[in-house]
Chains A and B, each alone.
Chain A
Amino acid sequence: MSVWRGDIVANLRTLAGVEGKTPSEPPIVSMGSVNPPLIEAPCFILDHIISDGAQVTRPSIDPYREPTETEVYLFGAGLRLAMPIIISGLNDIEPKHVSPLIHSCFRMGVGVHLEGSTAEEIPVDVRRFVLLEAEHNTLREIDGGPTIIRIDDREALVKLMKTSDATHLSGQLAARVPSTAEPAFYSSIVDAGFRVIIVDEDLGGEEPLEIALSEVDQVLKGLKVEGTPARYEVGLLAAASRIRSSSDVFKLGGLGADACIIRDAWKIAVDYRSEIATSLLSERLENLLIGMQREIKLLMGAAGVSAFQSSIVGNRELFRSIDLPLKLTERLGVKPAGE
């Protein structure tokens, strides 16, 4: 069973303007759904999660005509993203496309995750939207904006802290970690001064992303930073190449992610091929981002919510699971549908 079902790909490409005539418009369809888990086979826990539709006691909101706020803040409100999306996977594309696509993300107020590039190549203004990843196994801030340090486990963190001069770390530091839910690990990360944690399923880990994310969110709520719960000082991001769509971003938000790092979906959406003109790729990426933002707004509005970060992030009460074992629903903190 492919993760990239035909209808998911078609939806992405319609948003990007690769297919159809209405780029950026959430596709309109007719007649019944075939969505997992009831018709199509589910691939992940996400496929078992549904969102709320507000009605009767709680009016829904029409995002085409009424305001809905998708912006999220990270690093103590030091970084504002226009929507809960960060684009990644730029390292393995044709170099000539990289800079224009970063600029597209900048214009749209969307973050970029970049590995192995040097800070000097990125204009200073743009740099603050780019989460630059330091070389593996080094703890070093890269000037001018957020820095990501990849940390594989607690031992690696301890070693890093010992070998580096960590005392003067003060800027916008993010830790990218495997999909694990070990409380002590996260406690050490927060203590070390990281103010964003990226749970990245592509780095491995013993838990599915959904479970790790939801449990880390809870762990951070139990820790304290300067007297207040750590979660409200520390941003939490979800990353996986299998994050497919705005609805995945929305549901991961419900499980605790302030934003999601999207690796493959955008390339599939813009039909990335190195020979395509850069300007066209840029335009498609912008179309896609506007479209995904609109889809997120539709989901928010339908749930009677007008602000993403304060009302959706970690708001498990807005979600229900369909046909998941009780044990899993408890770990997720998401009630079974109908309960």
Chain B
Amino acid sequence: MTGPASVVGSKAILVERYLPLPKKNAREFWTERRIEHIRYLASCGRPLMVWDRCKSDTSRVLDRLHFQRELEEDGEGECSYQASDSISVSSRICHGRLWLEHPIYLGDMSFGALSGVPNIAIARAADLTGTLAGIGEGGLHPEVGKCRRIAVQWASARFGLDLDVLRRGEAVVIKIGQGAKPGIGGHLPSVKVVEIISQTRRIPVGVDAISPAPHHDIYSIEDLEQRIWALKEATGKPVLVKVAATNYIPYIASGVARMGADGIIIDGQGAGTGAAPAVVRDNIGLPIELAVASADAMLRREGLREGFTVVAAGRVSSAEDSAKLIALGADIVSIGTAALIAMGCIMIHKCHLGFCPALITNKIIDEPKKILSLETATRWVVNLVHGWSSELKLILEKVGMKRVEELRGRRDLLVGRGLSDSTLKVLEVRGVN
């Protein structure tokens, strides 16, 4: 196969630095401050802060949740020290069948949506950090296929799948939905469907790669069970099911668990995407914090929580976010956009056009003048994971815990500020003024 795999040795200029952030008028969740924080972690792999004292600059529910411990402290929240070595953030997931050194899943961005080098960087970073990388629905890039800690995705279009591809990696992810566009299938705009993408996805060059909205073999919960067991029959691997956070998420989560899946990836509203209709992105789906809290509560009520893994995804921007999501009931979090930012994304929202100044989501062309340095990109993601975990350990230390697993479901450690009674009820969190 040609393309990015061989590009690694091409004559193109290797990009190894971050671009300056453009000034923007529109509001944005990924503010300059959030991006700078991620860049710091990615550059040095060390912690920058324990608590984000400026989180109230958006009105996301998660930003209006605080650890009680944070409110008891003064100061900036910044820090330059590491947490005690005795604190562990490693996690056993999928009924104990997978071991992660950090409670992090590098989430589901396809080859095609990303331009090759970032896909390889993420997969290698997963191997180097002992985490897990979801490869998304775009087929297996040969370099990604050499990595061990990957999860192969079975999505509605089955792009690039066969028995051999499915048997690679550590797990299979059945992708039902994604937070950026619940109820809509994957979409790689025609402009990005070039020869190599056409080869891996097995569709003609220059047509939109559309995944059907639903899986046409999964119309019901028992159909999902049928697919889960068919994939287990074919691969012998643990199976996770990725869904968007929607109205019935508590029931869906318990259904997924009951049907024999090993875990669920719940993707919240506002999560990243390479292409989505604005009207769908903006009007459908629940924020991840509400979804995780309600799904966890239902799973516990139904006696399905033990051994089953809940992965929280969508706008997970910091270790503090992950700590809160874990306290609300997640086991681990999925990092997608933050990983792109670590590799240089400046958030100009052009992924669907195939033009990416940071060379992450650009259209693949034959002899590019510039490409992202694989080595640097890999290092950035590895550092991000380490820096992130260091901050998470500091939070664990502050709340007096030795292991991240102790934090799971500890809603009592959280308080909500300025949240409505309905929200507090769903979160099962106390409100304060």
Whether A and B touch directly in their complex, counting CB atoms under 8 A apart, is answered as: yes
A232 CB to nearest B CB, Å: 26
Contact of B29 with A302 in the complex, beta carbons under 8 Å: no
Chain B contacts for A302, CB-based, 8 A: 181-184, 213, 280, 284
Q: Does A28 contact B (CB under 8 A)?
A: yes
**Interchain CA distance A40-B243 in the complex, whole Å:** 25
Q: Does B244 contact A (CB under 8 A)?
A: yes
Cβ proximity bits B223-249 to A, threshold 8 Å, 1 near / 0 not: 010000000000000000001101111
Q: Does A207 contact B (CB under 8 A)?
A: no
With A55-B244, A59-B219, A295-B279 in contact, do A337 and B59 touch (Cβ < 8 Å)? Answer: no
User: Which of B74-82, B161-169, B416-424 contacts the other chain?
Assistant: B416-424
Chain A contacts for B351, CB-based, 8 A: 30-31
- Interface size range of chain B in the complex: 35 or more
Contact of B279 with A246 in the complex, beta carbons under 8 Å: yes
Contact of B176 with A55 in the complex, beta carbons under 8 Å: yes
B35 CB to nearest A CB, Å: 12
Q: Does A104 contact B (CB under 8 A)?
A: no
Contact of B422 with A52 in the complex, beta carbons under 8 Å: no
Contact of A324 with B422 in the complex, beta carbons under 8 Å: yes
Contact of A323 with B26 in the complex, beta carbons under 8 Å: no
B152 CB to nearest A CB, Å: 20
Contact of A32 with B213 in the complex, beta carbons under 8 Å: no
We find that the number of chain A residues with CB closer than 8 angstroms to chain B is 57
With A39-B59, A53-B182, A55-B252 in contact, do A31 and B349 touch (Cβ < 8 Å)? Answer: yes
Contact of A33 with B180 in the complex, beta carbons under 8 Å: yes
User: Which of A77-85, A195-203, A262-270, A314-322 contacts the other chain?
Assistant: A314-322
B178 CB to nearest A CB, Å: 9
Chain B contacts for A335, CB-based, 8 A: 247
**Interchain CA distance A50-B252 in the complex, whole Å:** 18
B98 CB to nearest A CB, Å: 23
Chain B contacts for A52, CB-based, 8 A: 182-183, 246-248, 284
With A50-B283, A321-B422, A325-B422 in contact, do A33 and B269 touch (Cβ < 8 Å)? Answer: yes
Chain B contacts for A62, CB-based, 8 A: 185, 212-213
**Interchain CA distance A322-B287 in the complex, whole Å:** 9
In residues 84-99 of chain B, which contact A (Cβ within 8 Å)?
none
**Interchain CA distance A60-B219 in the complex, whole Å:** 9
With A53-B244, A57-B220 in contact, do A39 and B285 touch (Cβ < 8 Å)? Answer: no
Contact of B189 with A28 in the complex, beta carbons under 8 Å: yes
**Interchain CA distance A246-B215 in the complex, whole Å:** 27
**Interchain CA distance A245-B279 in the complex, whole Å:** 9
Q: Does A225 contact B (CB under 8 A)?
A: no
Which of B187, B214, B256, B422 has the most A CB atoms < 10 Å from its CB?
B422
B312 CB to nearest A CB, Å: 13
Which of B25, B315, B427 has the most A CB atoms < 10 Å from its CB?
B315
Contact of A338 with B426 in the complex, beta carbons under 8 Å: yes
Contact of A31 with B347 in the complex, beta carbons under 8 Å: yes
* CB nearest to B287 among chain A residues: A38
Chain A contacts for B315, CB-based, 8 A: 32
Contact of B59 with A37 in the complex, beta carbons under 8 Å: yes
A6 CB to nearest B CB, Å: 6
Contact of A56 with B26 in the complex, beta carbons under 8 Å: no
A260 CB to nearest B CB, Å: 15
**Interchain CA distance A100-B392 in the complex, whole Å:** 63
**Interchain CA distance A301-B271 in the complex, whole Å:** 20
User: Which of B6-14, B290-298, B368-376 contacts the other chain?
Assistant: B290-298
Q: Does B218 contact A (CB under 8 A)?
A: yes
Q: Does A313 contact B (CB under 8 A)?
A: no
Contact of A30 with B349 in the complex, beta carbons under 8 Å: yes
* CB nearest to A250 among chain B residues: B283
Chain A contacts for B103, CB-based, 8 A: none
**Interchain CA distance A54-B251 in the complex, whole Å:** 13
**Interchain CA distance A322-B249 in the complex, whole Å:** 15
9 A-B pairs, CB-CB below 8 angstroms? A28-B277, A34-B28, A34-B29, A54-B246, A56-B224, A301-B184, A304-B183, A326-B425, A335-B247
Q: Report the 5 A-B pairs with minimum CB-CB distance, sorted nearest first.
A: A53-B182, A302-B183, A59-B214, A30-B351, A336-B422
Q: Which residues of A contact B (CB under 8 A)?
A: 6-7, 11, 26-35, 37-41, 50-57, 59-62, 245-247, 250-251, 295, 298-299, 301-304, 318-326, 329, 335-339
Known: A337-B286, A338-B286. 20 other contacts (CB 8 A): A26-B279, A27-B279, A28-B352, A29-B276, A32-B273, A32-B337, A33-B281, A34-B270, A38-B269, A39-B28, A39-B58, A41-B59, A53-B247, A56-B243, A56-B255, A60-B213, A302-B184, A336-B422, A338-B426, A339-B426
